[in-house]
Amino acid sequence: MSDTASTRATRNTPDHRPLVGAPELLPSLAPLLTEWVPRQRWFAGKGRLLTGFTLLSATELLPCTDPGAPGLLLLLVRAQQSAPPSRTPVGGDCYQLLLGVHPALSPQLAPAVIGRPGGGPLHGRTVYDALLDNRLCALLLERLRVPGRLGALRFCREPDADIPSGLPGRPIAVEQSNSSIVYGDSFILKVFRRIEPGVNPDLELPRALADAKCARVPAPAAWYEAAAAGEGGEATTLGVLQPFLAGSADGWQLALNALAVRADFTGSARALGHATAEVHTALAQTLPTTELRRPQLEVIAAQMHERLDATARAVPVLQPYRARLRTAFDALAATGHDGRSWAAQRIHGDLHLGQTLRSADEGRWSLIDFEGEPARPLAERRRPQPAVRDVAAMLRSFDYAARSGPAGGDPWALEWARRTRDAFCRGYAEAGGLDPRSVPELMRAYETDKAVYEVLYEARHRPDWLSVPMAAIRRLAAGDEPAVGAEGPGPARAAGSDDGRG
């Protein structure tokens, strides 16, 4: 994405003129945005001062030229921040902002207000979070129903997708890294917030899985993107519309519910293992795969060391465990020195219980959110990796549930987590995945890497949760408890039944 002072959209309708005075647009909005953006859950630059923005493009989805009428503005901006860490692209992270513009906003939309610019082309009008306004959400859906270009944007739709018009849109009320709108219980639109040039894996992988007829993942119906900045550049995915699995429950809530009544979860975990293996198999059949040998394994281990070092600098409580944690990464590199190699393929990249949905009727598991870990660069997220990385991430999630749920990490909950992890691995192997219990070096390295990621994630976003990954850090550093047993356990004996449908 190259920086341009103001890339303005034009439409071929006679009544529309592009936003007047665009050069003053960003300077007039900047004081409001530098206040508002850091408070948003999706802002990835927490902990560093936000000093301003560079405008990459401005597109009027609803013309903003008439001071007496409402407008909808899509801005792509680059954040200017102090002391960027090494992972930040040169010049800072880029974000998608959807701004409503209104001469007299209704009081119901007061929580959405960003402010009133003191000058510039929107002077005196109220600028607000467009995704909290049902009418503007409806307009966005209308754009997605009709493929075509609008300025720097391109709206695309699967030819056979049936998207009715007039579906009411509402923002979802869950914690998330992006922003999603549900349309009439039929579709959900995810608006990506931190953006990078290239196809987002949350579009790429579900489309590939739909082509492979894998029904474990909702198939994208439509999406929109920003055109490549120059020749040879890549378009930037900005949003994806997919079917909404109404009435489904997410795995995180189901696991917490089970823990609350001390119920077994092994049947569900085993079925989830099946679903995960099915998705991995389909991804390996449709998208490029590779073999990781000594040089690649050395690079992967070196990156794990780097992430550990960077995290220990940012979160000093990790420091005392560094040396012991390193042994897991060294052991991974050593498998390459021993002449072993590992299959790598496209994977989910950030699999946890909150990324799984179980349907109300058949109890069938689906996987969602293939974006990968939001903090990692897109190119890294799109690289083939060992599928057990997803398995290790899911095992961490069972540990999270047992430690943060109602049972709060008591001995029963920790035993629940152990049995649940084993059941997931058993299900995964039964459905054709590599048995995670047969690759302890990979599992340990990826589980450690994930726990390190979680330490940083929690320190930045939810400091109250830091103790959860830190408990895993202590266990992994002590090296006294494997993530999964060498053998699968016998049937679970906890209270409550769990037939593990789906």
Using CB under 6 A as the binding rule, whether residue 433 contacts ligand ADP is answered as: no
Beta carbon nearer to ligand ADP, 57 or 180 = 180
Contact (CB, 8 A) for 144 and 241: yes
Q: Report which of 110, 78, 70 is spatially closest to residue 94, judged by C-alpha positions.
A: 78
For 59, the enclosing helix (H) or strand (E) is strand 50-62
Tokens encoding 481:
């408890």
Using CB under 6 A as the binding rule, whether residue 376 contacts ligand LMANGFYV is answered as: no
State the virtual CA torsion across 298, 304, 307, 308 in degrees, nearest 10: -120
Shortest Cβ 401–ligand LMANGFYV spacing (Å): 7
Beta carbon nearer to ligand ADP, 79 or 357 = 357
x-marked contacts with ligand LMANGFYV along 323-352 as a string, rule CB under 6 A: ---------------------------x-x
Which of ligand LMANGFYV, ligand ADP, none does residue 215 bind to, with CB < 5 to 8 Å depending on kind? none
Per the listing, tokens 């400091």 go with 463
Beta carbon nearer to ligand LMANGFYV, 252 or 446 = 252
Rule CB under 6 A: choose which of 72, 77, 188, 378 binds ligand ADP.
Answer: 188
Shortest Cβ 146–ligand ADP spacing (Å): 22
d(CA 210, CA 396): 28
- Applying the rule CB under 6 A, the residues between 75 and 114 that interact with ligand LMANGFYV are none
d(CA 257, CA 379): 37
Tokens encoding 254:
């189901």
d(CA 226, CA 197): 9
Using CB under 6 A as the binding rule, whether residue 93 contacts ligand ADP is answered as: no
What's the length of the chain?
502
| CA-based radius of gyration for the chain | 24
Rule CB under 6 A: choose which of 175, 338, 464, 480 binds ligand LMANGFYV.
Answer: 175
User: Residue 340: which region, alpha, beta or left (left: phi > 0; alpha: psi -120 to 50)?
Assistant: beta
- Applying the rule CB under 6 A, the residues between 456 and 485 that interact with ligand LMANGFYV are 457
Using CB under 6 A as the binding rule, whether residue 369 contacts ligand LMANGFYV is answered as: yes
Name the segment binding ligand LMANGFYV (CB under 6 A); options: 30-38, 174-182, 261-269, 302-310: 174-182
Tokens encoding 341:
């190699």
Rule CB under 6 A: choose which of 374, 384, 427, 433 binds ligand LMANGFYV.
Answer: 374
Q: What angle do the packed helices 388-404 and 440-461 form, to 10 degrees?
A: 50
Rule CB under 6 A: choose which of 57, 80, 96, 177 binds ligand LMANGFYV.
Answer: 177
d(CA 140, CA 130): 10
Shortest Cβ 243–ligand ADP spacing (Å): 6
Strands 94-102 and 71-81: antiparallel
Which of ligand LMANGFYV, ligand ADP, none does residue 400 bind to, with CB < 5 to 8 Å depending on kind? ligand LMANGFYV
3 state DSSP class of 290:
strand
Using CB under 6 A as the binding rule, whether residue 397 contacts ligand LMANGFYV is answered as: yes
d(CA 106, CA 154): 31
Identity (one letter) of the amino acid at 392?
Answer: A
Alpha carbon 90 to its chain centroid, in Å, reads 22
d(CA 399, CA 415): 10
Which of ligand ADP, ligand LMANGFYV, none does residue 244 bind to, with CB < 5 to 8 Å depending on kind? ligand ADP
Q: Count the helices and strands in the chain (H runs, E runs).
A: 12, 18
Using CB under 6 A as the binding rule, whether residue 371 contacts ligand ADP is answered as: yes
Which of ligand ADP, ligand LMANGFYV, none does residue 350 bind to, with CB < 5 to 8 Å depending on kind? ligand LMANGFYV
Using CB under 6 A as the binding rule, whether residue 454 contacts ligand ADP is answered as: no
Tokens encoding 178:
């992006």
Burial of 90 (C-beta count, 10 Å sphere; 0-12/13-18/19+):
exposed
Phi and psi at residue 72, in whole multiples of 5°?
A: -135, 125
Per the listing, tokens 């610019």 go with 117
- Applying the rule CB under 6 A, the residues between 97 and 156 that interact with ligand ADP are none
Using CB under 6 A as the binding rule, whether residue 250 contacts ligand LMANGFYV is answered as: no
Using CB under 6 A as the binding rule, whether residue 360 contacts ligand ADP is answered as: no
Beta carbon nearer to ligand LMANGFYV, 262 or 460 = 460
Shortest Cβ 463–ligand ADP spacing (Å): 19
Beta carbon nearer to ligand ADP, 181 or 325 = 181
Shortest Cβ 470–ligand LMANGFYV spacing (Å): 13
Using CB under 6 A as the binding rule, whether residue 273 contacts ligand ADP is answered as: no
d(CA 152, CA 368): 28
Q: Which chain residues interact with ligand ADP by CB under 6 A? A: 172, 174, 176-178, 180, 188, 190, 218, 242, 244-245, 248, 250, 354-355, 357, 368-369, 371
What is the contact surface with ligand LMANGFYV in residues (CB under 6 A)?
175-177, 252, 350, 352-354, 369, 373-374, 396-397, 400, 454, 457
